[in-house]
């Protein structure tokens, strides 16, 4: 109870940039409640004319806004833009690759020390976030029953700098509900008893000067050895297409089921002038003590420092790697993303311009005839979490 009270009493930062003022005064309170359906053939034709004329993606977005009269808060989740807006892979790539790339952090975090374990979970939370280079492009939204699964190998660097190859790691991703864009994903090492569950619903809203992508759902990290489960809440994503970057913004927390230690984290927005993108600060607390034990701050896409509030010692806490020591060995099922979307992925990867809506409609109709059901996950009634039917060794 003391922990909940503390979480609610945290002071909010004063909003000082134009985008956030707009969001506070309109986008999150007065929405249009309009859900945009897939574009008509005429819409596609008009967008393709702009694309073929050499117009930038920003010009196409502004034309789209003018033509459709789309209002603040309109749901763009299922709207299809021209092929130049498309990243040639499924949304499942985000869930699989980003969960896997730095899973070694959690394998090293399987330790007795409560505080150190929580700090490593926070480090993994920083590692999960992909660096999105282009705010005008997005991956294909996965279809019902679409999957992605793999065994992957990690290289752990031991204390004496020797390398240890860990080969028994797995991830599984599956679309549970296409209309809600609801995806279940899990990454785990059964032998170590380390598991990460991420059940989330994806949305995309037009908010005037930016696109808002709420992350609806929490990340759950389990250490079976210690009977401990951490819940990580997630900030929203904002695609600032007018300013040319994507960022996370808002407050989130990391709490343990059996621990009184917890972390409150704030992702700060980049100011309209100056400042940096991806700035984050966090504090580690114990129970209802208002004084933090540790403070962490920096730029999560680069480096984060940690300060011991008692000793005032500051040191490097986390550095985003430039490359990952991960070997992915995919398990290609008939429902795998690479097979589902091959008629779109192959041509767009080669720079060809195609009618996304038409090709997507063909794929959807074909997929409906196959009548895919949920094959790799089940809903655990006790935890209310979608988790794998089978955990491989």
Which residue range forms the structural domain that includes residue 371?
2-388
**pTM (global) more than 0.85:** yes
Which pairs count as long-range contacts for 14-22, CB under 8 Å and 24+ apart, including other chains?
16/271, 17/269, 17/270, 17/271, 17/272, 18/209, 18/272, 19/209, 19/210, 19/238, 19/240, 19/269, 19/272, 20/249, 20/269, 22/207, 22/208, 22/209
249 assigned to some structural domain: yes
Per-residue pLDDT band at 32 (split at 50, 70, 90): low
In the predicted structure, residue 231 carries a pLDDT above the cut 90: yes
- Report pLDDT for 146: 94
67: its two tokens: 């033509």
d(CA 348, CA 83): 7
- Report pLDDT for 192: 95
Give the CATH number for residue 119. Answer: 2.40.160.120
CB atoms within 10 A of CB 370: 10
d(CA 92, CA 36): 23
> Is 232 or 352 the better-scoring residue by pLDDT?
232
Cβ neighbourhood burial of 343 (10 Å; 0-12, 13-18, 19+): middle
Q: Per-residue pLDDT averaged across 130-142, rounded?
A: 87
Q: Per-residue pLDDT averaged across 271-298, rounded?
A: 96
- Report pLDDT for 281: 98
95 assigned to some structural domain: yes
16 assigned to some structural domain: yes
> Who contacts 164 (Cβ-Cβ below 8 Å, separation ≥6)?
155, 156, 157, 158
195 assigned to some structural domain: yes
369: its two tokens: 């005839």
Per-residue pLDDT band at 162 (split at 50, 70, 90): confident
Asked which of 41-55, 147-161, 165-179 is least confident by mean pLDDT, the reply is 41-55
393 assigned to some structural domain: no
69 assigned to some structural domain: yes
| DSSP output for 318-356 | EE--SS--EEEEEE--TTBHHHHTHHHHHHHHTT----H
* 78-129 tens-digit pLDDT: 888 778 888 888 999 877 877 788 899 999 999 999 999 999 999 999 998 8
296 assigned to some structural domain: yes
- Report pLDDT for 33: 64
- Report pLDDT for 15: 29
26 assigned to some structural domain: yes
DSSP 8-state code for residue 97? H
- Report pLDDT for 160: 64
> Who contacts 183 (Cβ-Cβ below 8 Å, separation ≥6)?
91, 92, 95, 142, 173, 174, 175, 176, 198, 199, 200, 201, 202
Give the number of domains in the chain. 1
HEC string of 200-263?
EEECCEECCCCEEECEECCEEEEEHHHCEEEEECCCEEEEECCCCEEEEEEEEEEEECCCCEEE
Asked which of 28-32, 74-78, 238-242, 252-256 is least confident by mean pLDDT, the reply is 28-32
Q: Is 7 helix (H, G, I), strand (E, B) or coil?
A: helix
């Amino acid at each position: 109870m003391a922990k909940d009270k503390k979480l609610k009493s945290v002071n909010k930062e004063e909003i000082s940039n134009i985008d956030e003022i707009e969001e506070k005064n309109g986008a999150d309170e007065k929405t249009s409640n309009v859900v945009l359906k897939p574009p008509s053939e005429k819409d596609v034709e008009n967008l393709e004319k702009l694309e073929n004329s050499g117009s930038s993606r920003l010009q196409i977005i502004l034309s789209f806004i003018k033509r459709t009269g789309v209002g603040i808060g309109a749901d763009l989740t299922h709207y299809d833009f021209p092929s130049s807006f498309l990243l040639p892979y499924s949304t499942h790539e985000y869930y699989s690759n980003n969960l896997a790339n730095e899973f070694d952090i959690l394998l090293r975090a399987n330790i007795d020390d409560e505080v150190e374990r929580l700090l490593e979970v926070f480090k993994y939370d920083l590692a999960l976030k992909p660096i999105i280079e282009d705010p005008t492009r997005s991956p294909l939204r996965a279809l019902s029953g679409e999957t992605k699964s793999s065994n992957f190998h990690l290289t752990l660097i031991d204390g004496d700098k020797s390398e240890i190859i860990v080969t028994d790691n797995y991830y599984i991703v599956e679309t549970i509900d296409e209309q809600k864009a609801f995806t279940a994903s899990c990454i785990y090492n059964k032998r170590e008893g380390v598991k990460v569950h991420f059940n989330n619903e994806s949305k995309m809203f037009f908010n005037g000067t930016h696109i808002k992508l709420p992350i609806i759902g929490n990340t759950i990290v389990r250490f079976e050895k210690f009977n401990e489960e951490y819940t990580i809440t997630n900030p929203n994503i904002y695609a600032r297409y007018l300013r040319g970057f994507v960022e996370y913004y808002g407050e989130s927390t990391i709490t343990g089921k059996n621990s009184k230690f917890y972390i409150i984290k704030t992702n700060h927005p980049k100011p309209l002038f100056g400042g940096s993108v991806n700035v984050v600060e966090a504090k580690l607390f114990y129970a209802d003590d208002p004084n933090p034990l540790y403070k962490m701050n920096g730029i999560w896409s680069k480096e984060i420092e940690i300060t011991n509030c008692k000793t005032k010692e500051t040191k490097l806490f986390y550095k985003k790697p430039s490359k990952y020591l991960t070997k992915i060995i995919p398990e290609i099922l008939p429902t795998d993303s690479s097979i589902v979307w091959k008629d779109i992925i192959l041509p767009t990867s080669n720079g060809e311009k195609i009618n996304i809506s038409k090709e997507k409609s063909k794929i959807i109709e074909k997929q409906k005839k196959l009548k895919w059901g949920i094959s790799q996950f089940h809903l655990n009634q006790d935890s209310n979490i979608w988790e794998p039917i089978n955990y491989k060794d």
